[in-house]
Structure 1
Amino acid sequence: MAPVDQSAHLSDPAGSHLLEEKTGSQELLRGHFLHAFRDTVRLPDGRETSREYVRHPGAVMIIAQLDDGRLVLERQYRYPVQAVMLEFPAGKLDAGESSLACAQRELREETGYSARRWARAGVLHPVISYSTEFIDIWFAKDLTAGQRQLDAGEFLDVFTASPAELLLWCRDGRVTDGKTLAGALWLQNVLSGAWVLDWEAGTC
């Protein structure tokens, strides 16, 4: 096997030699939620091919912890995979809405909880091969319970679990949702002290 050529990486650490240039675009679907396209692109070697993908407005996920350390989780039926999934609370951004405002709204609407302190951990791209979707990861604490405000047609259970229980479910395959698995990685490192969060005041 030939050795890997590192020269391109060393001379172009941003990877600009891998970029593809869009030369055309066709709208395939404009639904209530999904907006799909097929673009024609020129590859780095000059050849052309097509890329099909979905535009997404972006979303948030909330890792909310009660004072006793237990996590606020949800159980929801996800139609595309025909299964009830265990997840962290999450939801998509409304037009013009900030990431923090969305996180506060989604936590309140889906679980009834509000939080006095918030910290943005980072961002994840769950399906980079066919979607522009990004998910901002938020931590929330100093929670106050309230009434849920679910959207019409939205059905989900809210429950709590310890971090140890969640990590066990991730290991055993009971949790397979990608964003929740990524959230569990963040949670594990924050709890160990390896990763530090910058907390800010929020509304409660």
Structure 2
Amino acid sequence: MNFEEKTLSEKTVFDGKVIKVAVEEVETPKGLKAQREIIHHVPAVAILALTDDHKMILEKQWRSPIHNTTLEIPAGKVDSRDSDDALHAAKRELNEETRFEAGKIKKISSFYTSIGVLDEFMTLYLATDLTPVKEKLPQDRDEQLVLEKVTLDEALKMIDVGEIEDAKTIMAIYYWQGMSNREYGSAK
């Protein structure tokens, strides 16, 4: 079965600092014409940062799209400072947002964050053996972050009661839970 839609036209309706919004007219495989609204976003990274005392680092910050504060893992976009290298971006974001560097960092997974309207492709990393950075990189001027450290049990409860609602963070916590089950036979 053919699923591919043919793009007949594309018009950029907004071109901002982080996103570009386009409206496409497409022809479906059945020959129907339809409109697609697409948000183009640069690649991004997120980091599950685990301390030596088995806690994860979360950031509390304001998120304008939902008009509320959130608890999230460190994350950010891959930009010109990174030469399109997601691993470099992850290390940079960890430094900027938490002031830690990882002795070990490994890729967990890459995924699209909201494929119904957005082409953002995110890579999730696991960072361990954390130590304070020797050289602090400049932080984003428009970000205000407060760091929290929580155990796996606390993080799972925060999901259950709705304190953590961010998808990348939930994914990271469930990865951590699975990792703990494999390493220790049960969640810690």
TM-score relative to the length of structure 1: 0.84
Whether the 8 Å CA contact 2:18–2:42 is kept in 1: the answer is no
Of 141, 144, 147, the match for 1:155: 144
CA-to-aligned-CA distance 1:90-140 (integer Å, 9 cap, x gap):
001103330100000000000100001011010122211111011101000
2:13 aligns with one of 2, 19, 28: 28
Following the alignment from structure 1 to structure 2, what is the Cα–Cα distance between the partners of residues 133 and 50?
A: 20
How far apart, CA to CA, are the structure 2 residues paired with 1:142 and 1:49? 50
Conserved in 1, the CA contact under 8 Å of 2:92 and 2:137?
A: no
Higher strand fraction (1 or 2): 2
1:91 lines up with 2:76 in the alignment: yes
Gaps of 5+ in 1: 1-7, 9-16, 195-204
- Partner of residue 28, structure 2: 43
1:126, 1:135 within 8 Å by CA — same for their partners in 2? yes
- C-alpha distance in 2 between matches for 1:134 and 1:168: 28
The residue that corresponds to 1:186 in the other structure is 175
Residues in 1 aligned to 2:180 and 2:121: alpha-carbon distance in whole angstroms: 24
Match of 2:160 among 167, 171, 176: 171
Identity %: 29
The yes-or-no answer on 1:127 pairing with 2:114 is yes
Aligned length in residues: 179
How many Å separate the matches in 1 of 2:4 and 2:181?
A: 38
Moved over 6 A (4+): none
Q: Write the distance in 1 (CA, Å) between the matches of 2:84 and 2:109.
A: 18
State the TM-score, normalizing by the size of structure 2.
0.91
Q: 2:9–2:25: 8 Å Cα contact kept in structure 1?
A: yes
Match of 1:3 in 2: none
Contact kept, 8 Å, 1:111 with 1:148, in 2: the verdict is: no
Q: Which runs of 5+ in 2 are unaligned?
A: 184-188
Aligned partner of residue 130 in structure 1, secondary structure: coil
